Structure 1
């Protein structure tokens, strides 16, 4: 067997068209997950009554089970639940018209929230308690101290962890092709199936993934450099 080098370029041009859907499957869950993670982290840090145990269970479940399972359970489970509710109350909701990508985004967002809650929580814990005491001494409330003093420092210190998670979810988005969502891996599979040149197609897809990962790492490096310069009182 020989590698068809020209076909790698042909596949590359076709697969690259799926970058937008891949970025949606990566960035939207991370944005939604950040909000979930921030809320869950606060609940766990302050041990809010009743919610604390639920938050621990949520994080434990979604970090302790594969993301592919989350996608499959939500992909098959939510339509089944909606159909039963619709049938019971005569709502006439047709689940087959709900875009598949919505189920994938829900699953990925819930998983991202669990991972981000741990990143945010560890970042908050790493900030010196003395800074909180100083904030309280000048009349700040807990809310003000958290969002004006602690959280900015916690997020800055967590940039490497955020970067790892972004890269991880960029690669995890490839699971979506199992439910017929045409992201990079799905596009590579479709291109390859037309003439059985799977090696060439997945080499092209790998190059694209690598390029996107390098871009994420580059952005992370610039952010870290700017944050470090700012914390030292310099100018980036």
Structure 2
């Protein structure tokens, strides 16, 4: 079997057309998941009554089940729930008008939030407790200490794991093709199906994924350096 290197180049540029959608599928849930992760981590750390048990279940269930199941559960279950609520409250829209990408956002955000809550929680716990006590001694409230002292340091500690989370979502975005969303993997399948050169097409897709992963690692290294300088220079 001969590999058509010329087609790899052709496929590369065709598949690159799906990169913007792939980045959207990756970054939007990452940002939403980060917010969910911080909230969930703080709820579990401070054991907020009743809510922290729900947070424990959320983290345990989402981390204990694969992403593909989250996609299918959201894709099949959310429309049912939406239509029931629409019927009850007299909404004029129905689930069939919801764009497919919304289901991916919900599934990926919930998945990312569960994993990031553990990443952020471990980062917070790694901060020296003496610094928190020092913050209290000069009159800072808990929220001020968290915002100005704990979270910046926890973020720096967690940055490599957050980068891994981005890479995981980037690779996991290929599962969006299971509900017909045309990201990199889906585009690779479509390009390959034109002349059955699947190996060449998937090699091209692999190069793109690999390049994005390397870029993410480089950006993380720069951010880590800047955060370290920020912390050494003191907090505002």
Using structure 2 for the length normalisation, give the TM-score: 0.95
- Count of residue pairs brought into register by the alignment: 234
Q: Tell me which residue corresponds to 2:67.
A: 67
Comparing 37-46 and 91-100, the one that deviates more: 91-100
Shift of 1:224: 2.1
Post-superposition Cα deviations, 1:139-193, rounded to whole Å, max 9, x if no partner, equal: 0001101111111101011111111111111100110011000100000011011
Asked if 1 retains the 8 angstrom alpha-carbon contact of 2:62 and 2:111, the reply is yes
Structure 2 contact 153–231 (Cα < 8 Å) conserved: no
Structure-2 change in CA distance of 1:96 and 1:209 (3 Å):
same
Alignment-derived partner of residue 3 in structure 2:
3
2: CA distance, partners of 1:189 / 1:112: 26
After superposition, where does 1:1-236 map in structure 2 within 5 Å?
1-232=1-232
Give the Cα–Cα distance (whole angstroms) in 1 for the partners of residues 119 and 88 of structure 2: 42
> Mean alpha-carbon deviation: is it higher for 88-97 or for 219-228?
88-97
User: Using the alignment, how far apart are the partners of 2:140 and 2:82 within structure 1?
Assistant: 46
In structure 1, stretches of 5+ residues that fail to align are: none
Q: Look up the SS of the partner of 1:101 in the other structure.
A: helix
Aligned-residue RMSD, C-alpha: 1.5
- CA distance in structure 1 between the partners assigned to 2:87 and 2:138 by the alignment: 58
Alpha-carbon distance between aligned partners in 1 of 2:196 and 2:143, rounded to the nearest angstrom:
58
Q: Deviations over 1:110-145 (max 9, x none)?
A: 000001100110000011111111001100001101
**Residues of 2 paired with 1:58 and 1:19: CA distance?**
31
TM superposition shift of 1:88: 4.5
CA distance in 1, matches of 2:39, 2:199: 44
- Residue 2 of structure 1: how far off its partner (Å): 1.4
1:196 partner SS: coil
The offset of 1:93, in angstroms, is 2.2
Q: Partners in 1 of 2:87 and 2:48 — Cα distance?
A: 38
Partner secondary structure for residue 189 of structure 1? helix
CA distance in 2, matches of 1:27, 1:158: 17
Runs of 4+ in 1 over 6 A off after TM superposition: none
- How big is the shift at 1:197? 0.7
| Structure 2: tracts of 5 or more residues without a match | none
Partner Cα separation in structure 2 for residue 76 and residue 168 of structure 1: 23
Give the whole-Å Cα distance in 2 for the aligned partners of 1:43 and 1:182: 37
Q: C-alpha separation between the residues in 2 aligned to 1:44 and 1:37?
A: 10
Instruction: State how far apart, in whole Å, the 2-side matches of 1:10 and 1:47 are.
Output: 55
- Aligned-pair CA distance for 1:91: 3.0
